[in-house]
Chains A and B, each alone.
Chain A
Amino acid sequence: MSFRQAFYDEPLLFEKRSDRVDDVDLTDLVPRKLRRDRLDLPNLAEHKVVRHFTRLSQMTFGIDSGLYPLGSCTMKFNPKFAEELAALPTVARIHPDQDESTVQGALRLLYELQVLLGKIAGMDEVTLQPPAGAHGEFTGLLLARAYHRDRGEERTEVVLPDTAHGTNFASAGMLGFRVVEIPSKEGRVDLRALEAAVGGRTLAFMLTNTNTLGIFEERVLEIADIVHDVGALLYYDGANLNAIMGKTSPGRMNFDIVHFNLHKTFSTPHGGGGPGAGPVGVKAALAPYLPVPAIVRSESRYHLDYERPKSIGKVRAWYGNFALLVRAYAYILRHGRDGLAEVSERAVLNANYLMKRLEGVLEVPFPGPRKHEFVASGAILTRGGVRTADLAKRLMDYGFHPPTVYFPHLIEEALMIEPSETETQETLDAFADALMQIAKEPAEVLKAAPHTTAVARVDEVLAAREPILSWRMAHRRAGPARA
């Protein structure tokens, strides 16, 4: 497919001609020493503002623009009916401090979503509060900490496989835990290394299954035993839950704590980087520590229960990213029992089909089928100084968003490809054809790519060397020339 992105030499809001207007009188409203007499923001005609952002949107690529096979990120179609539901006044215009009696609909929906997620993951209780996957990890580790402390144990180490998401490391680090990283073997957890790494200091072992290589960890029950034998907990990073729905569940695999990424598996849009939602499910032993308030039901009324003496307290304001939770709830109802299993089946079929189509073009380390994603190495294409990054940039010229690159770290020149279930064979074929075509192209074409996007290759080194993060910094530091 050929593709040419829109380009407008669109000025910054601050560069547009601003209307001059009268000032407002703040006497008697703001104490004198706090009174502000000047605000340097432009006054623009409304249609100019709409045109500005319409142009900028046309210089942006979303899942509605084309294939977006970012491994681990699960970029699937975001159903439009969910957008309409989330915009209802009964979602948008209810205040979180309203009396329970006036928000029974919201509380019922949240309660039912907790139940649905618990069933899907095989967990006993769920909190919907964390606003993102990483925040779910943060919450889950706080729960693990509370659980151990309640048993008189201060555990200080979190064990992670070398294929783990960067957020696992960062969440553990943020809470002051020492990270113990174990190398993988044949793309899977090395059980001996795990045995050697865990002990009385281990708070939890965090794992994605299927793992970030798209490989199912078949020996997960043995892994669970090794972890549980030393009294530690097994944490499920739910980024890849979309591979296994209806086939197995974290509960069946003996995980104790799970976070869900509703913006991955349950199709809520990524919003250009957020908002997301990262609910956390736990086995009964961890339920007393969940954040307050719990949402409970008694005699067909729904309540916010703050009387949880062992709770870790709050991890964010109020009850979660409600407007996202509404979308995920609607998505689960739409698909239901068989539909969710079909989502996983098709996601896995698409990934394996695409992997097959790319045989001979890209090398995929470790044999065997994958689940919803696979990690290829661009190393065999490396010639004339071409790198995976160049390959990724060149894909844009064919109208595709590139896959995740350079992760996981153990694969050289990694391309992590996740097509998701909403793509058709036709799209996957076009993507494979594009990669095959690119493999034959001269190195200089790749190194200078992209050629058809709004701007040419962006200098990220310059951006970091002398960071200019705002209009005022641009003026102060570099003068208007660079701005």
Chain B
Amino acid sequence: MASDASEMLRALGIESVEDLFADIPAAVRSDALDLEPGLSEQEVVARVTSILSANRTMADMPTFLGGGVYDHFVPASVRAITSRSEFYSAYTPYQAELSQGLLQTLWEYQSIICELTGMDGANTSMYDASTALGEAALMARRIRPGATFVVPRALRWHRKSVLANYAIGAGLRIREVEYDRETGMLDLAELREGATPDVCGVYVENPNFFGRFEEQLEDIRAATDAVLVVGINPLAQAIVRPPGDFGADIVIGEGQALGSSVNFGGPLLGIFACRQEHIRKMPGRVIGLTRDAKGRRAFSMTLQTREQHIRREKAMSNICTNETLLAVAATAYVAVLGSHGLRKLAAENAERAKELAAAIGRIAGLVAPHFKGDHFNEFTVRAARGYEAVHQALLERGVHGGLPLKRHLPELADVALFATTERHTAEDRRRLLQALEAAA
């Protein structure tokens, strides 16, 4: 016990801190916690480091996984900025005067997201792309009557499952639209058929689940009056026309690629942006521009009457704690790279994917990309002998192949989704190709 504790006990006129727990009835009192005794800082660091050393990282093992999160190089300046403890140890900026720096940063984040997506307003984050999709479906329902929300059948399984859980409260039915077996893009004819009057919203991704650019955004917009929700990769947005140009109402996406690590899948950054006319129906925290009492530019959280602490069960969402620090990282990342750096990097990713797909496609027994056309930084690979055996053979050679698509789309049991980024070296690619040659 620290020495000031005894002084405080004296001030309270009690002998022991136990007196402050006297109101907890004996019937619910528990024995001491069934845990080990505490360790020193040095021991904890050694123990945790040792447990984690059983992992093989993407640096130890050339890894060609993407599927929503991507291993991009993060400049040290980004980490230096997010390591400022004023940022990372702050709470939600409820008190604007004390939090102007964070508020300005988040307003800059919203502005960057709007520039990338062509939307007018963005929130400061959702948990990840999957919950952003769930929230977008609920928002579509608030904007437009209709109990059906349309999604591509070619969608990561966890996004579908999360959406199904978010849809419960609003009683939304989810309708899936097939992909074109040749191009991997959305089956437009089926969308047109499915865009019935009971549809409140339609979700499409560009690039889509297969990494393929969705070239039909204009036709998709024309096919329906419903709320159009477009899922993006924010890095690809540097070289791809913004969904706003095609009449999207809401844009969501996974923002991890902007300055955060893959972190075994969390924390992530759910991007969420919309057109001006929908701003008051948007979920989540938003920062607004305003003035202080002396007339100077200032920022504050705004539109809080949409939120849980004011609106309670009528709130747009229950979200409170979000992924703010990743939004700070994204802002710093975009600022460090600039428009030129982002465009160059995005183009480099697309070019590398194209070259890698071509090289894989030259190996007998493999087809890459399985879907014809332009891709961003991932693509499908089909193995004539079945993909499972290839995957295992790669692992045995210390190379991690792409994501098997069997669980997501059973008809693609022999197909996997391979991703590449600027982080892969020539040696990584050589090892992959060599291993594929031996395995295929």
Residue of A nearest to B349 (CB): A29
Instruction: Flag the segment in A190-198, A325-333, A378-386, A434-442 that touches B.
Output: A325-333
Q: Which of A102, A336, A426 makes the CB contact (< 8 A) with B61?
A: A102
When the two chains form their complex, are residues A46 and B55 in contact, meaning their CB atoms are under 8 A apart? no
Within the complex, the shortest CB–CB distance from B269 to chain A, in Å, comes to: 9
A152 CB-CB contact with B under 8 Å: no
- Give the nearest-CB partner of A6 in chain B: B101
* B residues in contact with A313, CB < 8 Å: 161-162, 164-165
Question: In the complex, which residues 106-164 of chain A have their Cβ closer than 8 Å to any Cβ of chain B?
Answer: 106, 108-109, 112, 116, 119-120, 122, 131-135, 137-138, 142, 145
| Size range of the chain A interface in the assembly | 35 or more
Given contacts A14-B111, A175-B169, A456-B97, contact A93 B57 (CB under 8 A): yes
CB distance from A77 to the nearest CB of B (A): 8
Question: What A residues does B159 contact at CB under 8 A?
Answer: 317
Please indicate the chain A residues that have their CB under 8 angstroms from the CB of B88 in the complex. 62, 78, 83, 269, 271-272
Shortest CB–CB separation between residue B23 and chain A, in angstroms?
5
Q: Is the CB of A270 within 8 A of B335?
A: no
Min CB distance A430 to B, Å, is 13
Are B158 and A272 neighbours in the complex by a CB distance under 8 Å? Answer: no
Binary interface encoding of chain B residues 1-17 relative to chain A, with 1 for a CB under 8 A from any of its CBs, else 0: 11011011101100001
Which of B118-126, B173-181, B195-203, B426-434 lines the interface with chain A?
Answer: B118-126
B405 to A: closest C-beta gap in Å = 11
The verdict on A458 contacting chain B, using a C-beta distance below 8 Å, is yes
In the docked arrangement, what's the CA distance between A382 and B170, Å? 44
Known: A169-B308, A271-B325, A337-B35. A103 touches B338 (CB 8 A): no
Residue of B nearest to A345 (CB): B17
Beta-carbon contact of B110 and A50 below 8 Å: no
Pair B313/A36 contact, Cβ less than 8 Å: no
In the assembly, what is the distance between CA of A349 and CA of B122, in Å? 43
Chain B: minimal CB distance from A478 (Å): 8
**In whole angstroms, what is the CA distance A348 to B262 when docked?**
38
Q: Which residue of A lies closest to B334 (CB)?
A: A41
Q: Is the CB of B311 within 8 A of A109?
A: no
A164 to B19, CA, bound (A): 27
| Contact B11–A356 (Cβ < 8 Å) | yes
CB distance from A9 to the nearest CB of B (A): 8
Q: Which residue of A lies closest to B67 (CB)?
A: A97
A426: contacting residue among B4, B53, B95, CB under 8 A: B4
B162→A349 contact, CB < 8 A = no
- How long is the Cα–Cα vector from A132 to B292 in the complex, in angstroms? 32
In the bound complex, residues from chain B placing their C-beta under 8 Å from that of A368 are: 23
Interface residues of B in 250-288 (CB under 8 A from A): 261-268, 276, 279-280, 285-288
From B33, B47, B71, B156, contact of A340 by CB (8 A): B33
A468 and B299 alpha carbons, distance in the complex (Å): 10
B414 on the A face (CB < 8 A):
no
Tell me the complex Cα distance, A25–B347, Å: 8
**Contact of A238 with B by CB under 8 A:** no
Does A339 make an interface contact (CB < 8 A)?
yes
Cα-based distance from A415 to B49 in the complex (angstroms): 42
Given A312-B165, A462-B291, A463-B289, CB of A167 within 8 Å of CB of B7: no
Contacting B124 at CB < 8 Å: which of A29, A176, A273?
A273
Flag whether B390 is at the interface (Cβ < 8 A): no
B148 at interface by CB-CB < 8 Å? no
Known contacts A58-B101, A88-B52, A275-B267; is A172 also within 8 Å of B58 by CB? no
* Binary interface encoding of chain B residues 27-59 relative to chain A, with 1 for a CB under 8 A from any of its CBs, else 0: 111101111111101001101110111111111
Contact B33 A120 (CB under 8 A): yes
Q: Given the known inter-chain contacts A104-B55, A249-B30, A345-B17, please indicate yes or no for A170 contacting B317, CB distance below 8 A.
A: yes
What is the CA–CA distance of A321 and B159 in the complex, to the nearest angstrom? 16
Q: Is the CB of B169 within 8 A of A36?
A: no
Q: What are the residues of chain B within 8 A of A62 when measuring CB–CB? A: 85-90
In the assembly, what is the distance between CA of A88 and CA of B44, in Å? 14
B121/A470 in contact, CB under 8 A: yes
CB pair A166–B120 under 8 Å, yes or no, is: no
Question: In the complex the two chains form, what is the Cα distance from A54 to B343 in whole Å?
Answer: 26
Distance in angstroms from B398 CB to nearest chain A CB is 10
Q: By the criterion CB–CB under 8 Å, are B267 and A424 in contact?
A: no
* Known A62-B85, A174-B169: A401·B105 in contact at CB below 8 Å: no
Counting chain A CB atoms within 10 Å of each CB, the highest count among B124, B263, B303, B328 belongs to: B263
- Asked whether A456 and B239 contact (CB < 8 A) given A41-B339, A60-B99, A62-B88, the answer is no
Q: Are B4 and A464 in contact (CB-based, < 8 A)? A: no
Q: In the docked arrangement, what's the CA distance between A31 and B92, Å? A: 41
Q: Is B143 an interface residue (CB 8 A)?
A: no
Query: Does A12 belong to the interface (CB within 8 Å)?
Result: yes
A99 within 8 A of B: yes
Residues of A within 8 A of B213 (CB): 30-31, 34
Smallest distance from the beta carbon of A280 to chain B beta carbons, Å?
Answer: 13
Question: Which residues of A sit under 8 angstroms from B127, Cβ to Cβ?
Answer: 131-132, 135, 316
Known: A13-B335, A317-B268, A462-B291. A60 touches B45 (CB 8 A): no
Does B30 lie within 8 Å of A35, measured CB to CB? Answer: no
Q: Are B81's CB and A53's CB within 8 A?
A: yes
Collect the chain B residues with CB atoms within 8 Å of residue A322's CB: 263-267
Min distance, Cβ B190 to any Cβ of chain A, angstroms: 21
- Given A23-B343, A142-B165, A338-B37, A29:B239 Cβ within 8 A: yes
Not counting A169-B312, A323-B264, a sample of 6 additional A-B residue pairs whose C-beta atoms are within 8 angstroms of each other reads: A33-B241, A274-B324, A275-B322, A323-B266, A345-B20, A401-B91
5 pairs, A vs B, C-beta closer than 8 Å:
A12-B111, A166-B307, A323-B267, A401-B91, A425-B5
Q: Report, nearest first, the 10 A-B pairs whose CB atoms are least far apart.
A: A318-B265, A96-B265, A173-B313, A336-B38, A271-B325, A59-B101, A56-B101, A273-B324, A43-B338, A105-B54
